[in-house]
């Protein structure tokens, strides 16, 4: 039997984001007899921790919840974490000889683009290096063409959509660099999505909202139901990237114009309090609910009338794959991956990437009962251009061939 490959995978944490989810889905579907994997987290935190297979060794730099506030009592711990991680980045041998116990790895894998420098600065010069790009970096602040070209120092660059693939191909300077780029759709488990959608939604007392200490408590407003007015659901980490501020402003505008509907935002993140405050400022607390984090968003998907993607930029919005799997009526901004996923509008309405675009799409969904007739017909027999097994096999093939 061939000797197992030693692999180091790095990611910030296993909190509830798309990249974290697909990484864990990938790990859950890997054979445990071919690889020996160390998963190194900056912060031992997140709901996906408990889904990591037992045979994978989890190592971490810090433990505890992410600190998203600037309260005086949190500053020392927050500063200590930052200083510790910066020291290890500057002197990587301290990490490799300490936490990693001098282990030699065949492959070092940056599971997100933000781990680029940590992997490239590894003292292990003989290891092969892989990066997994989940975002359209041309839309990400701080990533000039010069910065993006640094990724060509990796042996393989995994990209998750045609748009990201084109970005890297356009920046490649020779065939050798072009050969490093591999497009692989994110591995997602359709059977799990459908099964979880059949489960009961979280009980009312389980609904949570962020408090000053970073924990969750129940939100006061009632969950919207679709039996009176249509409900739009949007799921994602609450970052500015996701455009939830635009969604709430459009919601307010449509209500003012007499288009009655409700909004449900599922997810948490560092921008949670800002979006929650905006909801109150707009006086839409009765019609818009921020559910916070939930282990299983799929019953809410199933019970909503429409799925809306209000993102300013994406790489390949895997949440749309979930919405397609559950045959939802989709309105999505024209960001990276959307045209690819929605087949140029066959599987959903694609709108201009702006507040006005979101407004027009949602208005059409509410006012035109026939707007989705053709789309629903297409969705009824929609087939994804990938499967969980194929995606996992292709990533494993990249690893095996290095």
32: helix, strand or coil:
coil
Q: What is the pLDDT of residue 86?
A: 85
pLDDT per residue of the chain (402 residues) written in tens, 0 to 9? 568 999 999 999 897 677 888 899 999 999 989 999 999 999 898 888 989 999 999 999 988 666 555 666 666 777 777 888 888 888 999 999 999 999 999 999 999 999 999 999 999 999 999 999 998 898 888 899 999 999 999 999 999 888 899 999 999 999 999 999 999 988 778 888 899 998 865 433 334 443 333 333 334 334 444 457 899 999 988 989 999 999 999 999 999 999 999 999 998 888 999 999 999 999 999 999 999 888 789 999 989 999 999 999 887 788 898 999 999 999 999 998 899 889 999 999 999 999 999 999 999 999 998 999 999 999 988 877 667 888 899 999 999 999
Domains of the chain: 5-185+387-401 (3.40.50.2000), 190-380 (3.40.50.2000)
Q: What is the pLDDT of residue 163?
A: 86
The neighbour count for residue 58, using CB atoms within 10 Å, is: 13
Q: List the end-to-end C-alpha distance of the chain, in Å, as a whole number.
A: 18
Tell me the pairing of strands 35-44 and 128-133: unpaired
Report residue 223: phi and psi, to 5°.
Answer: -65, 135
Structure tokens at 346: 């066959």
How far is residue 82 CA from its own chain's centroid? 23
- What one-character-per-residue DSSP string does 195-231 give? HHHTSPPPPGGG--EE-TTS-EE--SSPPP-TTTS-E
Dist CA 367 CA 348 (whole Å): 16
Tell me if 121 sits within 8 A of 89, measured CB to CB: yes
Structure tokens at 1: 């039997």
C-alpha to C-alpha distances, 236 to 1, 56, 320, nearest whole angstrom: 43, 27, 11
Structure tokens at 113: 């683009």
pTM over 0.85: no
31: helix, strand or coil:
coil
Tell me if 362 sits within 8 A of 351, measured CB to CB: no
305: helix, strand or coil:
coil
Dist CA 304 CA 38 (whole Å): 40
Q: What is the pLDDT of residue 270?
A: 84
> Among residues 325, 379, 335, which one has the least CA distance to residue 358?
335
> Among residues 346, 336, 300, which one has the least CA distance to residue 315?
336
According to DSSP, residue 151 is labeled G
Residues 6 or more apart in contact with residue 191 via CB below 8 angstroms: none
How far is residue 328 CA from its own chain's centroid? 19
């Amino acid at each position: 039997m061939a000797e197992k490959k030693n692999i180091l995978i790095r990611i910030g944490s296993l909190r509830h984001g798309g990249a974290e989810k697909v990484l864990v889905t990938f790990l859950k579907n890997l054979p445990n007899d071919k690889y020996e994997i160390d998963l190194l987290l900056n912060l031992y935190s997140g709901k996906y921790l408990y889904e990591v297979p037992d045979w994978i060794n989890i190592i971490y730099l810090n433990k505890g919840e992410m600190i998203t506030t600037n309260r005086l009592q949190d500053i020392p711990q927050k500063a200590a974490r930052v200083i510790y991680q910066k020291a290890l980045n500057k002197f990587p041998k301290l990490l490799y000889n300490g936490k990693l116990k001098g282990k030699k790895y065949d492959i070092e894998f940056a599971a997100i683009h933000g781990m680029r420098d940590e992997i490239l600065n590894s003292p292990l010069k003989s290891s092969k290096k892989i990066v997994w790009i989940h975002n359209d970096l041309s839309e990400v602040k701080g990533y000039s063409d010069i910065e993006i070209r640094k990724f060509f120092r990796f042996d393989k660059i995994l990209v998750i959509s045609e748009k990201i693939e084109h970005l890297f191909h356009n920046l490649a300077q020779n065939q050798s660099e072009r050969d490093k780029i591999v497009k692989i759709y994110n591995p997602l488990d359709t059977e799990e999505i459908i099964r979880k959608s059949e489960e009961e939604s979280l009980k009312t007392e389980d609904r949570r909202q962020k408090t000053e200490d970073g924990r969750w408590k129940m939100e006061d407003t009632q969950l919207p139901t679709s039996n009176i007015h249509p409900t739009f659901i949007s799921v994602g980490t609450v970052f500015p990237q996701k455009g939830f501020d635009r969604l709430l402003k459009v919601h307010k505008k449509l209500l003012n114009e007499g288009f009655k509907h409700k909004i449900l935002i599922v997810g948490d993140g560092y921008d949670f309090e800002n979006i929650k405050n905006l909801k109150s400022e707009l006086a839409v607390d009765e019609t818009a609910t921020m559910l916070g984090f939930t282990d299983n968003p799929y019953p809410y998907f199933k019970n909503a009338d429409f799925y809306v993607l209000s993102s300013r930029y994406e790489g390949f919005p895997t949440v749309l794959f979930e919405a397609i799997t559950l045959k939802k009526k989709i309105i999505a901004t024209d960001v990276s991956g959307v045209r690819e996923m929605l087949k140029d509008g066959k599987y959903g309405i694609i709108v201009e990437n702006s507040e006005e675009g979101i407004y027009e799409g949602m208005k059409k969904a509410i006012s035109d009962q026939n707007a989705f007739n053709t789309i629903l017909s297409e969705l009824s027999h929609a087939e994804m251009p990938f499967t969980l097994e194929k995606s996992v096999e292709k990533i494993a093939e990249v690893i095996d061939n290095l």
